[in-house]
Amino acid sequence: MKFINYLQSIAGVSIFPMISLFIFFIFFILLTVVVVKMSKSQITTLENIPLESTESNTTL
């Protein structure tokens, strides 16, 4: 029996893709709002994090 046959036997299975799409869009809309409202100084601080060297870790 194929996997699609298992899914067809579940009542109301067609709502799950819509819920996941809704969660996906809500997440990225909220992320966009947070980024747009972020101050310029906070953005500068975040973009300099990889360049700051607080500890010397040169061993690989």
Residue 34 has pLDDT above 90, yes or no: yes
Residue 48 has pLDDT above 70, yes or no: yes
Phi-psi region of 38 (alpha: psi -120 to 50; beta: other; left: phi over 0): beta
Model's pTM, two decimal places? 0.57
Band (56; pLDDT cuts 50, 70, 90): low
Coil, strand or helix at 17: helix
Taking residues 4-28, what's their average pLDDT? 84
Within 13 Å of residue 56, how many CA atoms lie on the same side as its CB? 0
